[in-house]
Amino acid sequence: MVRSSPGCTSLAAPATPGASAGALARRRHTPVFGDAPRRARGFTLLEVLLSIAIIALIASVLVGGASHLLTDKPVTLEEVFWKSVQEARKHALKAEHEMRLKFDRQNKQFVLIDGIAPAALAADGFTKEEVPLKVFPVPPAAAVDLTIDFLTATKGANMVLIGGMLLESQPITYVSFYPDGTCTPFRVQFARSGGVHTLAIDPWTCAPVLDKKENP
């Protein structure tokens, strides 16, 4: 039994029945909550923002590259022409009336025009001009020294020699596409200093004539 002197308070904890010395030692050395080792903290705000920026950059590169591979944007002169023909035929079928396709020599582009739409007043306030539904610009590299004419389906009429090249001198102003999927019988003539190339178009399908390839 532990005795205490008068006027002094004993600091010894009362013994717990059945408590072993090892259990007391473990209790004595058990750390409290405030003394627990500090764990590693999460990402900082700056690290999160940097991660988001990197992910967004990678995503934009991947999406941009994929869209470039999947795009149907024409890149050559003939691709631009056939794209304009397909669009003219599609618009005629959808609208159920005539569509017209022209070539703008000044701006070097194919122009799709509604065949029954009225002409609009030009910027000068006096003349009237046709409003294009869609334009198909020729690639700049292919537009240098380039002339494109729509010709009748009959070959060899009104030929003229210009700059050493034999060209047809009386082109037609435009070609028409009809709501039944057909078009005006015509050919298209591409001329530049390097030579002349002519394509024939099947008026029933508005596709290339495969059995007759012209090489003037």
CB atoms within 10 A of CB 129: 11
Domains of the chain as residue ranges with CATH: 77-208 (3.55.40)
> pLDDT tens for residues 82-139?
999 999 999 999 999 999 999 999 999 999 999 888 877 667 667 777 889 999 999 8
Write down the pLDDT at residue 2. 46
> Residue 189 — pLDDT band, cuts 50, 70, 90?
confident
pLDDT > 70 fraction of the chain, expressed in percent and rounded: 63
pLDDT above 90 as % of the chain: 30
pTM (predicted TM-score)? 0.59
Give residue-wise pLDDT tens across range 1-34.
444 445 444 444 455 554 455 554 455 555 554 5
CB contact at 8 A, 208 and 201: yes
pLDDT for residue 67 is more than 70: no
